[in-house]
Structure formats: structure tokens, C-alpha cells
Chain A
Amino acid sequence: MKENLRMVVVLTCITLLSGLILTATYEVTAPLIEAQQEAALAQAVENVLGQVTDLEQEIIDEKEYFLARKNDYRVAALVTSARGYGGPVDVMVGVNVSTEEIMEIKVVDHTETPGLGTVIEEERFVQHFRGLDFKDSYRDEVDIITGSTVSCVAVIRAVEEAVALIRLNILEEEVEIPEDLTPDEMREAFIAEFVGDEYEEFERDDLIVYQGPDVIALEGSKEGYIGPVKTILAVDIESTELIGIEVLDQEETPGLGDPITEEDFLQDFIGQSFQDDFRLVTEDPEPGEIEILSNATVSAEAVVDLVNHAFEVLRNMEAGGEF
């Protein structure tokens, strides 16, 4: 019993002392750590904006903006993030709000492959952004470096987002934020746009059907290169034509598989009647044919398969006199 009591007493004493020492250390170091973090942030802001005056922080929509003046110009900086090869790539973007130009960008945090993806930190990559005007897309402005495509595209996307945010929130322009909506939000928007408020929801052959008075929307998923590709499409009942299609969710390789979410790819589906299936072709697509995206074959196939499957379901429903 004495031995047991000793065990409890010794362990308790050790934890008591440990707790005291640690809280004391914390008390001493916490303000120092905070100061260091602030200094690091100020340094990062200085890196993209240079010497500025009247630096202030503003939080709009939970995002921190650093607003300042430089000579006679209004300048701003913010951190945006996009998915790279090894995880999120955080980029601090400094812009001149008055001249609507990018001043400087700096990758503040990333986990890209050393020696390959890390090129995004280097001058030979970031120099491309300097002095670019505000635009929706910078894909054609910036040279992507071989071996680091995914990392480079991540930076470009982060910069695009930052520019769009500045235009929206600081310049108060009407721009679309290339921010990713959640699949649920996208579905909601899609149904509201095409089907309307009144619809019936049920399942049919692995698909979810949203049947409205004029338009039917069908949602389902097919295996892509990495994971399921979830797609929703809308068909006009009277004309039997496909009027809208959207990829809701996908895990394809960023920069390779993800063109399937883009307008260029999806617009080829519009206007096709559900009586005829799509075919994949390598070049010069005619109506009823979809051009294979190089590097994204499997991802594109997943979308086409789903559309063809939905068409089959629609034909069966039509034959069954359901609409």
C-alpha cells in the first residue's frame, strides 16, 4: 500500500511541477512568439509592397486585406491559397489598386517537392507576374515550368483569386470569384437556374433525378482518374436537348484532370438531344462528339459516360411515359 501511495504521490508531484514550469515558460514566450509572428507578417507585406505608409488591416468576408499607400498610389496585399501538388500553396499578392497592376507576389507557404515544385519561390517564375494588369486569367501570361506544372498552376490560380477579390472588395467591381463552391451550393444554384423551384426528387439507376415541369436534371458520378467525378446535367423536356451541365465534385489531378470543370470542355455537350449518345474523338469534334482532352482522358471519359448513362435513363423514362 505504501508503495502504491508513493507511486501516486510521485507522479502527481512530477506533473504538478511540470505544469508550473510549462505555464511559466508559456507566459514568458507567448508575447515573444506573437511579436515574431507580427514581424514575419509585416516582413511578408513589405516583401510584396515595399516601403509603404498608412498600413492598416481590414477584414472583409473573413479575409485579411493589408491596405496602404505608396507615394500617391493605393496598394493592397492579401494571402490566397490554391491546391498544389503537395498541399495548399499560400501566395501573398501585392497589387497597386490605383493602376490596377500586380506589384509583386511571394509564395509564403507550400509543401511542394523540393527541387521541382519549389521553383515557384524563385525569381525566374515570380518575375512573370510583376506589372501584369488585372485580368480574369493569367494562364497565357505566365510561363509554366516543366516538371512543376501543378505547382505553377496553383500559384496562378491563387493570384487569379487574389486579383478577383481585390476587384470585388476594394474596387467594388462586379466580378466572379473563381472560388470553389461546395458541391451542394453548386447543385442548388444549378437546379435553381435550370429546373426552377418546383420539382420532384427521386432516384433512378444510380442517378438522382430532379424532375420539374419543363426541365429534368440528373445527377450521378463515375470513376475518374483518382476518384469519383460527380456531374449534374439538365435536359429540356420539349426539345429533348441538353441545356446545362456542371461538374460538381472531382478529385482529379490539379492542372491536368480539372479542365473537365471548365467551360471550354463542357460547352460541347450543350444542345445535344438525349436520343443520341456522345462519342469521344481525338480531334475536330462534330455535334455529338466530344474531343478528348490530352492529359485528362480518363477524367473526360467519366463525364461522357455519365452523360450517356443519363441519356439512357431519360430514354427509358420517355418510353415509360413518365413525361
Chain B
Amino acid sequence: MSLLNDFKNGLWNEHPIFRLLLGMCPLLAVTTTAEYGLAMGLATLFVIICAEIVISLVRNLIPKKVRIPSFIIIIATFVTIVDYTMPAFFPEIADALSIFIPLIVTNCLILARVEAFASRVSLKRAIADALGMGIGFTWGLVLLAGVRELLGDGSVFGVQILGEGFPTWGIMGLPPGAYITLGIILAVINQIIRMRHKKTREVS
């Protein structure tokens, strides 16, 4: 498998949100506006890249029995770095994401990739995978958050898109809005994949 494949895996085939359904907690909680979704995605991207690099480097040093505590400490270290850095430079975003930044530690996406991938493969492949997964997670968050912000507030990234007269959907800002949006996006993506399967068959 080439590096490109490892990278592309996270973007679509094994998309962490829409295919693996990992990391639902931050996904549902912080995707009220596209900006927060992007911030959360980038924070996770940073953590997953750093964690996969470090763990891939030290994978042969860590005894198998203590690999989970070791991974968690490494992940937690990077999350705490984000937790300190974010309020120092982006206080408003840090305020909005609040508890969900520390909670990246328990984002199963990161532990899953570290355990299933980074701890078994070379540094190059780990970086490719981390980039793919992190960017995949980010675009998933931004898509969901963008839809919610558009319908809930009439804007995307704070830029007014729908006219003033648009009756904003209050539910989109609430947790049920996140579930409904996620469900519809999942349905659409599943349909796209199904149609693609059909096409590849017809072509061959």
C-alpha cells in the first residue's frame, strides 16, 4: 500500500466520521458554527499528527503490556499543550470549545489510529495516516457545522449567506440539530457509495 493510499484512506474510504463513526462526542457538541468545527478539527489534527509521529517513533521501545497507558499519556500531553495554547492565542474559540478540548484525549479516533496503525507501521506511513485521518475529521466537522450554521443562523463562517428574511431553524443550534444533520449526511454519503459501486460494476 502506498503512502498516498494511507493518506486518502482517511479522506474518504475510511472517513473517521462518516465511515468509521468515531469521535462522535466533539462532533455533536461543538459543531454549532463552521468556525468552531474548523477549530476543533485543527486541534484534533494537531494532536493526531503529533501522537502518531511520537508513537510510531517509540513503538519498538514500549512494552506491549503498557502500551495503552503510554499512548494515553502521550496523547494527553499533546492535548494539554493545545489546551494551554488555545486560550493564549484564540481566547474566544477556546471559550466556545471549553471542555471539549481536554476531551480530545478520549476521542476514540486518536486512540484507535494510534493503536491500530501508528504503533505498527513506519514513521512515513503513520504521518500519512495521521494527515488523512485528521484532515478527514476536520472536513467532516466543517461540513456538519457549516450545514448547521447555514440553517441555524443563515451564515457560514460568520458570513451572512441567506437573506435576512430566512427563518432560521432554532433546532440546528441544539443537540437534536446535530443528530438530524449527521443522519442526513450519513444517508447521502451511503447513497453516493452505493451508486459508485454500481457504476464500477457497469464499467467493468
A and B directly contacting (CB within 8 A)? yes
Using known A-B contacts A3-B63, A25-B81, A113-B174, determine if residue A14 contacts B74 with beta carbons closer than 8 Å. yes
Inter-chain contact total with CB atoms closer than 8 Å: 66
Main secondary structure of the interface of A (DSSP, over half): helix
Decide if B77 is an interface residue (CB 8 Å cutoff). yes
Decide if A7 is an interface residue (CB 8 Å cutoff). yes
Chain B residues with CB under 8 Å of A37's CB are 91
Using known A-B contacts A36-B91, A115-B168, determine if residue A25 contacts B74 with beta carbons closer than 8 Å. no
Is B66 a contact of A11 with CB atoms below 8 Å? yes
Decide if A71 is an interface residue (CB 8 Å cutoff). no
Chain A residues with CB under 8 Å of B65's CB are 3, 7
- Complex Cα–Cα for A28 and B74 (A): 20
Chain B residues with CB under 8 Å of A192's CB are none
Contact residues of B between 49 and 108, Cβ < 8 Å to A: 61-63, 65-66, 69-70, 73-74, 76-77, 80-81, 84-85, 87-89, 91
Which of B62, B77, B170, B171 sits near A21, CB closer than 8 Å?
A: B77
Decide if B138 is an interface residue (CB 8 Å cutoff). no
Main secondary structure of the interface of B (DSSP, over half): helix
Decide if B32 is an interface residue (CB 8 Å cutoff). yes
Is B66 a contact of A26 with CB atoms below 8 Å? no
A87-113 interface code vs B (CB 8 A; 1 in, 0 out): 000000000000000000000000001
Decide if A317 is an interface residue (CB 8 Å cutoff). no
Minimum CB distance partner of B67 in chain A: A10
Chain A residues with CB under 8 Å of B74's CB are 14, 18
Decide if B140 is an interface residue (CB 8 Å cutoff). no
Chain A residues with CB under 8 Å of B85's CB are 25, 29
Minimum CB distance partner of A13 in chain B: B61
Chain A residues with CB under 8 Å of B77's CB are 17-18, 21-22
Decide if B37 is an interface residue (CB 8 Å cutoff). no
Is B63 a contact of A18 with CB atoms below 8 Å? no
Is A18 a contact of B73 with CB atoms below 8 Å? yes
Contact residues of B between 9 and 64, Cβ < 8 Å to A: 32, 61-63
Chain A residues with CB under 8 Å of B132's CB are none
Q: How far is the CB of B67 from chain A (nearest CB, A)?
A: 9
Is A10 a contact of B66 with CB atoms below 8 Å? yes
Q: How far is the CB of A293 from chain B (nearest CB, A)?
A: 29
- Complex Cα–Cα for A115 and B177 (A): 12
Chain B residues with CB under 8 Å of A146's CB are none
Is A18 a contact of B173 with CB atoms below 8 Å? no
- Complex Cα–Cα for A26 and B82 (A): 11
Chain B residues with CB under 8 Å of A3's CB are 63, 65
Is A114 a contact of B70 with CB atoms below 8 Å? no
Chain A residues with CB under 8 Å of B88's CB are 29, 32-33, 36
Chain A residues with CB under 8 Å of B62's CB are 10
Chain A residues with CB under 8 Å of B61's CB are 10
Using known A-B contacts A7-B66, A10-B66, determine if residue A33 contacts B170 with beta carbons closer than 8 Å. no
Contact residues of B between 156 and 204, Cβ < 8 Å to A: 168, 170-171, 173-174
Q: How far is the CB of A252 from chain B (nearest CB, A)?
A: 24
Decide if B136 is an interface residue (CB 8 Å cutoff). no
Is A33 a contact of B84 with CB atoms below 8 Å? yes
Give 28 pairs: A residue, B residue, CB < 8 Å, sorted on A. Answer: A7-B65, A10-B62, A10-B63, A10-B66, A11-B66, A11-B69, A14-B73, A14-B74, A15-B73, A18-B74, A21-B77, A22-B84, A25-B84, A29-B85, A29-B88, A30-B84, A32-B88, A33-B84, A33-B88, A36-B87, A36-B89, A36-B91, A113-B170, A114-B32, A114-B174, A115-B152, A115-B170, A116-B170
The 4 closest A-B pairs by CB, nearest first: A115-B170, A114-B173, A32-B88, A18-B77
